Amino acid sequence: MVTVFGILNLTEDSFFDESRRLDPAGAVTAAIEMLRVGSDVVDVGPAASHPDARPVSPADEIRRIAPLLDALSDQMHRVSIDSFQPETQRYALKRGVGYLNDIQGFPDPALYPDIAEADCRLVVMHSAQRDGIATRTGHLRPEDALDEIVRFFEARVSALRRSGVAADRLILDPGMGFFLSPHRKHRCTCCRTFKS
Give DSSP secondary structure letters for 131-182. Answer: SSS--S-----GGGHHHHHHHHHHHHHHHHHHTT--GGGEEEE---GGGT-S
Bridge partners (DSSP) of residue 68 are none
Supply the pLDDT for residue 11.
81
Supply the pLDDT for residue 124.
97
- pLDDT tens string, the chain, 196 residues long: the values are 789 999 999 886 545 455 455 788 888 999 999 999 999 999 999 987 656 667 889 999 999 999 999 999 999 999 999 999 999 999 999 999 999 999 999 999 999 999 999 999 999 998 766 555 545 555 666 667 778 888 999 999 999 999 999 999 999 998 876 555 555 655 566 656 655 4
Q: In whole angstroms, what is the distance from residue 62 CA to residue 18 CA?
A: 22
> What is the pTM assigned to this prediction?
0.84
CA 157 vs CA 32, 162, 171: distances in Å: 33, 9, 10
Supply the pLDDT for residue 185.
59
SS3 call for 145: helix
Supply the pLDDT for residue 174.
85
Q: In whole angstroms, what is the distance from residue 45 CA to residue 20 CA?
A: 9
Q: What is the CATH topology of the domain spanning 5-195?
A: TIM Barrel (3.20.20)
Supply the pLDDT for residue 149.
85
Nearest CA to 130 among 148, 103, 156, 101? 103
55 neighbors 112 (Cβ within 8 angstroms): no
Indicate the Cα dihedral angle 190, 18, 46, 175, nearest 10°: 0
